[in-house]
């Protein structure tokens, strides 16, 4: 069940998403020691950030809502970590989320000399007050990619917000193809959702008046739609993320066209054991179907 993205081979297609439990060196080593097939770092900014005030994450019945606000140790710490994480002998993906184009260029220039295998530029965090999601501004996306692709010496992919309109898919895909991005990860959480506790008559998280990114089961159909559309429109591999909780979910994402998948909410709720459980469930499901490699069914979703 190996898969390849930008010439980097993954032992199987299931690894962590930039988001939960990948901030500290200990957390990253725990991912390295788990059955995750890669190690993705928390999206890093130029300087360290405490993030938004707590409570800023809540598991809710069908998923999660968060407004973490990119708490991270700053890019230099993650670049240093790549040297140590290399010992786990699995691909390392450095997630980058500079708060300006200049910051992104600085981080990517430094990342060229790191031990990361791939760079994932996060254009879609909905949780930094005063910073709109770049992926919803197509002109800015074009400008950012023109600048960073000139600098990046490692394969650089982008993490996108969810889109909901076929015209938007086409417009974004045209930009991504023009800049030859190495891969696309979709989707980030559905931004600015509101979850209300009716007993307490208040939202369940504090930042931004309770507005936050929705993850988990709520968003799986939207994530599948984004994977499907982008895998049809793009010249590069797509990594799916959004609501994967079981092995059969992985199967569905690959059937829709994904080369790999990332785990967010389920990792936060279950811890590193989710990688082995979901991998086993996925392999058992494939075996039942008689499939021995992801190429047997990737993108082969039937139509009615
Ligand atoms: C956050 O730190 O706010 C979540 C990460 C993201 O949405 O990109």
Flag whether 60 is in a domain: no
Å from CA of 12 to ligand 1 middle: 25
- Model confidence pLDDT, tens digit, residues 260-304: 999 999 999 999 999 999 999 999 999 999 999 999 999 999 999
209 within a domain of the structure (yes/no): no
Give φ, ψ of 173 to 5 degrees.
Answer: -60, -40
For residue 195, is it within any domain? no
- Residue 26 has what pLDDT? 98
- Which CATH number covers residue 288? 3.20.20.70
For range 164-175, the mean pLDDT: 98
- Please pick, among 22, 125, 274, 286, the residue that the annotation labels catalytic: 125
- Number of structural domains in the chain: 1
What is the residue with the minimal CA distance to atom 2 of ligand 1? Answer: 70
Is-catalytic flag, 125? yes
Minimal-distance CA residue to ligand 1 atom 6: 125
Q: Does residue 198 fall inside a structural domain?
A: no
Domain housing 251: 3-52+69-190+216-296
Looking at residue 211, what is its pLDDT?
Answer: 98
Q: Is the CB of 213 under 6 A from ligand 1?
A: yes
């Amino acid at each position: 069940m190996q898969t390849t993205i930008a010439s980097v081979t993954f032992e199987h297609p299931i690894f962590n998403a930039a988001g939960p439990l990948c901030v500290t060196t200990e957390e990253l080593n725990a991912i390295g020691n788990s059955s995750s097939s890669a190690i993705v770092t928390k999206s890093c900014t130029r300087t360290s950030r405490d993030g938004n005030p707590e409570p800023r994450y809540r598991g809710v019945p069908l998923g999660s809502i968060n407004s973490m606000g990119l708490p991270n140790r700053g890019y230099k710490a993650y670049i240093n970590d790549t040297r140590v994480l290399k010992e786990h002998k699995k691909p390392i993906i450095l997630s980058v989320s500079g708060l300006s184009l200049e910051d992104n260029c600085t981080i990517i220039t430094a990342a060229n000399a790191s031990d990361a295998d791939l760079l994932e530029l996060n254009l879609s965090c909905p949780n930094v007050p005063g910073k709109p999601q770049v992926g919803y501004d197509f002109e800015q996306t074009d400008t950012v990619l023109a600048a960073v692709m000139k600098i990046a010496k490692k394969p650089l992919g982008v993490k996108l917000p969810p889109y909901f309109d076929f015209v938007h898919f086409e417009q974004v895909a045209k930009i991504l193809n023009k800049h030859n991005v190495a891969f696309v990860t979709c989707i980030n959480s559905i931004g600015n959702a509101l979850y209300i506790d009716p007993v307490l008559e208040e939202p369940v998280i504090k930042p931004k008046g309770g507005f936050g990114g929705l993850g988990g089961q709520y968003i799986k159909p939207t994530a599948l739609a984004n994977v499907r559309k982008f895998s049809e429109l793009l010249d590069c591999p797509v990594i799916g993320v959004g609501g994967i909780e079981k092995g059969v979910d992985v199967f569905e994402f690959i059937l829709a066209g994904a080369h790999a998948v990332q785990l967010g909410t389920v990792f936060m709720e279950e811890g590193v054991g989710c990688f082995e459980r979901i991998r086993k469930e996925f392999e058992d499901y494939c075996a039942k179907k008689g499939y021995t490699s992801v190429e047997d069914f990737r993108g082969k979703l039937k139509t009615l």
